[in-house]
Structure 1
């Protein structure tokens, strides 16, 4: 019934973990954390598969790795944009 809510909560946690591991998550808000977690989960599971423990339909290890990749890519892109001005 509330599967979408669990997905959002787990996505937020995955995004927070990805941001904390990369030390780039301090300036991210909750919406950015949720998006990083959900998109990172999709990215990680697409690249690495669905192995390891899962929660709310998301394989945690590939999802966290995907969130780390996503946060690094986005922070690099926005970092480059800030230096060109």
Structure 2
């Protein structure tokens, strides 16, 4: 079962990387990793400083929407997930 959940987490990380890449005009220097806790998975997004504004968006709308999508994807598989922007 745990291997299946690792596969789900990897697919979600891959999806996040694709979406963030599209949001930041195809920036090639995006890294998405995750740290798995007991009930919460933290997805860490690392990208160059000059693209962070595009990811966050006006008033934080882009990152909030991305967090809502992540919440929906992870809840569908029975775990909680959050996004952490690595500075």
TM-score (norm 1): 0.40
Q: Could you say which structure has the higher strand fraction?
A: 2
TM-score (norm 2): 0.39
Q: Could you say which structure has the higher helix fraction?
A: 1
